[in-house]
Amino acid sequence: MASGTGGQVALYKAGSLYHSVGSANIWTDFVSESIEHQLQELEEASITGNKDAPPSHKGIDSAAGDINLEPNPDAWGHWMRATFGQSSGTLLCNAGSTGANSNAYGAGQPVFMHQFVPIQTAVDQNNFLPVYTTMVYKDTGSAFFYQGGQIHGHQIQVQAGQLVKSVATGMWRKVERFARIDAIRDMTVPKSKKFVWDMASVQAGPGVSSLAGNTNFEAININLNIPLEGVVLLDGTKNYAEFQVNEFRRAQINGTISFRSQAEYDAFVVYENRFLRLTLRNTNSLMVIGNPASAFFPTLEIDIPQFKFLSWSTPIGGPNRLITSFTGKAERDPTSAYMIEARLTNITSLY
């Protein structure tokens, strides 16, 4: 009997929306997936004198769904590039440098800082975002290859007392099956460690030069999404021919705050933008990367230069302590020319 413990997920950077591949070379651990192969039903509408529903025909053939992760700092960048649309890397420490502990993760490896900023121009006339094929093996038979994919949504979830989680949301042009790929060493021999809530910090302020730590946050979720529309053409297939933008891209933020003062309420009332920064940094001594003189750690920083509170609610539900629930959004910053930026430091050289 098939079991989720035998599941596998991998990616492949395809050069074209129409590029069908039967292999994958970007391996990632995952928690669960809910990708659904969707077949549209086209039901006839002719009146024939019968009370029974008329025959139906196969319509659009596609796939859509989520992949839930406890993100690995090394593999995370692939999912982020897929949604942001681009990445650029900077070498921070040359190869041959050794961490403070000779057995440390990444000892002797070069260290890179990757920057992710949302694209404004489509990658191709047929698709706005880079194309990724996603392989999912379900512990029996052939592996499912979701071809011509657009990972148009990525959510980061930080909750006190929990491991950091993320959700990648995608849509795919078609589904095929091929033999399972056996090379899964990157999954069975983990590289870096997961991020835990005590590695997270939140800073806020009127601007980047006046950021101050805010330890009142209990949870914060950041969801970047660009709505895409699958376009069907008279091209002799039942698959989408294009994935085009059909709404504004948005970065939405929500979470909870321990109600200790009315400072966040004051920011909500004035309806002004504030600089918001979320940092995840694993400072475990075994996670040193780089050299002892300039040690680095696996780190993710997310900057939102123009964050605005949209709702603020602190109800008294009884004798319990008070918790504020909030929602907010990121607006495009005219100075930096983006609404959100992510910086990921690790030993992966390229995304």
Please list the helix, strand and coil fractions of the chain in percent, rounded to the nearest 5, in that order. 10, 45, 45
Q: What's residue 185's pLDDT?
A: 47
Helix (H, G, I), strand (E, B), or coil: what is residue 299?
A: strand
**Structure letter (DSSP) for residue 266:** H
Q: What's residue 287's pLDDT?
A: 75
The pLDDT profile of the chain, 351 residues, written as one tens digit per residue, is: 899 988 899 999 998 999 999 888 888 889 999 999 999 999 999 999 999 999 999 999 999 999 999 998 888 999 999 999 999 999 887 766 555 444 556 566 788 999 999 999 999 999 999 999 999 999 899 999 999 999 999 999 999 999 999 999 999 999 999 988 765 544 544 456 899 999 999 999 999 999 999 999 999 999 999 999 999 999 999 999 999 999 999 999 999 999 999 988 999 999 999 999 999 999 876 677 766 566 788 999 999 999 999 999 999 999 999 999 999 999 999 999 999 999 999 888 899
Place of tokens 């920083």: 301
- Cα of 326 vs its chain's centroid, Å: 21
Do residues 29 and 7 touch, judged by C-beta distance below 8 A? Answer: no
- Cα of 168 vs its chain's centroid, Å: 5
Q: What's residue 63's pLDDT?
A: 98
Tokens of 23: 């292999």
Q: What's residue 97's pLDDT?
A: 57
- Rounded Cα distance between 243 and 123, Å, is 11
Q: What's residue 105's pLDDT?
A: 61
pTM of the shown model? 0.93
Count CA atoms closer than 13 A to 299's CA, side-chain side. 22
Rg of the chain (C-alpha set): 23
Q: What's residue 336's pLDDT?
A: 94
- Cα of 314 vs its chain's centroid, Å: 29
